[in-house]
Amino acid sequence: MTLPLPRYSRITGTGSFLPSRRVTNAQLAEELAQRGVETSDEWIVARTGIHARHFAAPEVTASDLGFEAAKHALEAAGRSAADIDLIIVATSTPDMIFPSSACLIQQKLGVHGCPAFDLQAVCSGFVYALTVADSMIRTGAASKALVIGAEVFSRILDFNDRTTCVLFGDGAGAVVLEASDQPGLLASELHADGRHVGILCTPGTVAGGKVLGDPLLKMDGQAVFKLAVGVLEDVARSVLAKAGRQDADIDWLIPHQANIRIMQGTAKKLKLPLEKLIVTVDEHGNTSAASIPLALDHAVRTGRIKQGDTVMLEGVGGGFTWGAVLLDF
């Protein structure tokens, strides 16, 4: 007898984790001043909306942060690690070249056997990972997935470059995504345009036992800003149309937390009041693939996002990559 395939996947638990060292703009400005790099709390707040970020201690890795977030998500879902049959980790700052951070987290969770892999789509990574997990659940390849975004961007920041080092932070977020006969994820869409590889990149690599090229993050902020504003509106509208929903059906918008101006601009274009915009960029900075699950978990735990709410998640970042997921929580 063939069992019917699950028609949907649904988030059943969220979790997140931030390293304990919180660095305010003023503290960062003071540290940078010692290197002769000039910035200020006023500039950072006015241009980005960021007030503080968290930095991991040198010995703490993305898999350490992802493991903690995963434990919280499992607890919220009422599941144990042994129930999980798929682990996907979205990260651009993995612990090692290989094995994947997903395999390291699987080992930390004390489970063995289920597929575990990393997915690299920079700041769109979580939306990509959620879409892949949803597809695997719908085809019956998995039934209970851990989808994690975990980053230690502090490792790849150039603290002599004030145009980038004030923007990013470390952290992790996770969800448990389960097969369900109720939606769940309603629609999603992913995109990439490799013509723009150079506007946001960490171009270094390892070869012959040496780091070749520059292993620190480079960004043409204005080029990224312009592209992000355009694609975030388009992809949200496309995903709404696929799901047969309207702008007004969105209860909560969680865009990638990179810059409050891009986020508010997107909300306005979708005619959403700013109260429906979940904002954590002020306290977390840009945590790349971790930013969306961190913001989701924060909104759930502070009682804003409730069961049944319709939530739009939107990622955008290096590659150039972008995508959106619309879901009923």
Residues annotated as catalytic are 123, 256, 286
Of 310, 318, 323, 324, the closest CA to residue 10 belongs to 310
Give the nearer residue to ligand UT7 in terms of CB position, either 148 or 165. Answer: 165
Using CB under 6 A as the binding rule, the residues of this chain from 259 to 278 that contact ligand UT7 are 259, 262
Considering the complex, state which of residue 9 and residue 202 has its C-beta at the smaller distance from ligand UT7: 202
Report the distance separating Cα 235 and Cα 116, nearest Å: 28
Contact by Cβ (8 Å): 102, 118? yes
Residue 10 or 53 having the CB closest to ligand UT7: 53
Read off the amino acid at residue 124. Answer: S
Per-residue tokens: 108? 């930390």
* Residue 280 contacts residue 258 (beta carbons within 8 Å): no
Query: Shortest gap between Cβ of 316 and ligand UT7 (angstroms)?
Result: 6
> Which of these segments, 3-11, 108-116, 161-169, 201-209, binds ligand UT7 (CB under 6 A)?
161-169
Closer by beta carbon to ligand UT7, 104 or else 262 = 262
Residue of 10, 144, 162, 298 that binds ligand UT7 (CB under 6 A): 162
x/- site string to ligand UT7, residues 91 to 130, per CB under 6 A? Answer: --------------------------------x-------
Q: Which of 74, 76, 166, 300 binds ligand UT7 (CB under 6 A)?
A: 166
Is 163 one of the binding residues for ligand UT7 (CB under 6 A)? yes
Task: Round to whole Å and give the CA distance between 137 and 134.
Answer: 5
Q: Which is nearer to ligand UT7, 12 or 120 (CB)?
A: 120
Nearer to ligand UT7, 9 or 259 (CB): 259
| Amino acid residing at 206 | V
- Spell out the residues 6+ positions from residue 140 whose beta carbon is closer than 8 angstroms to its own: 3, 5, 6
Q: Which stretch binds ligand UT7 (CB under 6 A): 87-95, 141-149, 159-167, 302-310?
A: 159-167
Q: Does 48 bind ligand UT7 (CB under 6 A)?
A: yes
| Candidate segments 42-50, 59-67, 180-188, 274-282, binder of ligand UT7 by CB under 6 A | 42-50
The distance of closest approach from Cβ of residue 309 to ligand UT7 in the complex, given in angstroms and rounded to an integer, is 25
- Residue 286 in contact with ligand UT7, rule: CB under 6 A: yes
Residue 206 CB partners (closer than 8 Å, separation 6+):
97, 212
Given the complex with ligand UT7, which of 19 and 255 has the nearer CB atom? 255
Residues that bind ligand UT7 (rule: CB under 6 A) add up to a total of 20
- Among 77, 228, 243, 272, indicate the residue that binds ligand UT7 (CB under 6 A): 228
> For ligand UT7, which stretch binds (CB under 6 A), given 140-148, 256-264, 301-309, 320-328?
256-264
- Cβ–Cβ < 8 Å for 285, 168: yes
Site residues, ligand UT7 (CB under 6 A): 39, 43, 47-48, 123, 162-163, 166, 200, 221-222, 224-225, 228, 258-259, 262, 286, 316-317
